[in-house]
């Protein structure tokens, strides 16, 4: 018979002739330690689940890695690049890379009868992965894109829909400021004009992440090409999806080497450094809670042993 188990059994249950007076004390100690363990497990589970949920939403809006023109322009209207790049066909063949797609963004102002709201239009093409948006669709459908004509449909968030009183099948007037078409030399490149486009609301999504929901709408990429007077082969950049999020830093280095010095490949941790730094701080909160629970459990055990002695 195990000696430690024999002694513990006698302390808790006593003997045939004498009932153990320490049984309630030991039960309270076990209960206290069990509650401490439960709190520690729940803390780790909640923090990790929260981090994964926020991270998945950020990546859902912008993929794992973004490839843009290497320039000092960090706005929502990056300098265009040609779609026909060698890496566009070679990157999907790399181990660890799941998908690559083109995109473009442009600032706009939605105007209704009573309200106005600034938004960022994200233009997507036929190669766009709709899994994230479909999972968070509240009403309607995603964009139906064809190879012939540019779609006039638009997907807005539930946050915008409530704020501007927008419903499915409504028409939206969006105003833009864009450079005039270059027709008369350098002076025309510095001139700007106001343009307006009409879109039909085909779907409303809700990710619950207001930081992105309140400003992001989805349209056909060709609409942004027309607004910017781009040709059909020009895009704002490329988005790369990878298989394992834990390897995002390594894959970012690989993609950077593949695209060369003319382009800049940034991971979501780099483009959204504030959000990911905030998520990393949650680990410190979990560590503090776990340390406190360990201290409480240790004091509980010491007190119980002293009472037994």
Higher pLDDT, 101 or 19: 101
Mean pLDDT of the chain: 85
Determine the Cα–Cα distance for residues 159 and 141; give it in Å rounded to an integer: 17
Whether 162 shows a pLDDT value over 80: the answer reads yes
Using 50, 70 and 90 to split pLDDT, how confident is the model at 15? low
Give residue 19's pLDDT.
Answer: 60
Please report which confidence band the pLDDT of residue 188 belongs to, taking 50, 70 and 90 as the band edges: very low
Average the pLDDT over each of 57-71, 145-159, 173-187, 235-249 and give the range with the smallest value.
173-187
The structure's pTM equals 0.79
Please provide the distance, in angstroms rounded to a whole number, between the alpha carbons at the two ends of the chain.
23
Q: What's the confidence (pLDDT) of residue 187?
A: 45
Name the residue with tokens 């780099």: 270
| CA–CA separation, 127 and 99 (whole Å) | 9
Question: Is 90 exceeded by the pLDDT of residue 155?
Answer: yes
β-bridge partners, 218: 122, 155
Per-residue pLDDT, 174: 92
* Mean pLDDT calculated for residue range 231-237: 90
Model confidence at 21: pLDDT above 70:
no
Whole-number percent of the chain with pLDDT over 70: 91
In terms of C-beta density within 10 A (0-12 exposed, 13-18 middle, 19 or more buried), how is residue 193 classed? exposed
- Of 214, 228, 221, give the one whose Cα is nearest residue 110: 214
* Residue-wise pLDDT tens digits, 279-294: 888 888 888 888 888 8
Listed in sequence order, the residues at least 6 apart from 103 whose beta carbon sits closer than 8 Å to its beta carbon are 122, 123, 124, 125, 128, 221, 235, 236, 237, 238, 239
Average pLDDT for 135-155: 89
| pLDDT for residue 199 | 94
Mean pLDDT of 169-195: 75
* pLDDT at residue 223, rounded to an integer: 93
pLDDT of residue 16 exceeding 70: no
Distance CA(169)–CA(85), nearest Å, equals 37
């Amino acid at each position: 018979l195990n000696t430690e188990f024999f002694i513990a059994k006698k302390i808790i249950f006593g003997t045939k002739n004498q009932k153990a007076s320490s049984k309630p004390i030991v039960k309270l100690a076990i209960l206290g330690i069990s509650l401490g363990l439960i709190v520690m497990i729940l803390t780790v589970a909640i923090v990790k689940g929260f981090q994964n949920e926020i991270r998945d939403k950020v990546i859902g809006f912008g993929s794992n890695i973004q490839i843009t023109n290497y320039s000092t322009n960090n706005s929502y209207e990056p300098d265009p690049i040609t779609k026909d790049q060698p890496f566009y066909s070679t990157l999907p063949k790399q181990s660890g890379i799941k998908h690559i797609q083109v995109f473009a963004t442009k600032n706009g102002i939605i105007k209704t009868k009573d309200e106005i709201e600034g938004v960022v239009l994200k233009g997507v093409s036929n190669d766009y992965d709709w899994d994230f948006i479909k999972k968070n669709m509240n009403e309607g459908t995603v964009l139906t894109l064809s190879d012939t004509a540019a779609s006039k449909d638009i997907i807005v968030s539930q946050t915008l829909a409530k704020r501007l009183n927008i419903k499915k099948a409504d028409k939206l007037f969006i105003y833009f400021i864009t450079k005039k078409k270059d027709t008369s030399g350098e002076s025309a490149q510095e001139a700007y004009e106001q343009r307006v486009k009409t879109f039909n609301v085909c779907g409303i999504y809700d990710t619950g992440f207001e930081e992105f929901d309140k400003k992001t709408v989805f349209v056909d990429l060709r609409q942004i090409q027309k607004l910017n007077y781009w040709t059909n082969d020009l895009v704002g950049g490329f988005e790369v999806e990878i298989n394992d999020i834990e390897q995002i830093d390594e894959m970012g280095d690989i993609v950077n080497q593949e695209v060369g010095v003319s382009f800049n490949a940034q991971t979501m941790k780099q483009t959204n450094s504030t959000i990911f730094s905030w998520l990393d701080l949650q680990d410190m909160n979990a560590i503090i809670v776990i340390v406190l629970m360990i201290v409480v459990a240790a004091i509980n055990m010491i007190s119980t042993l002293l009472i037994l002695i």
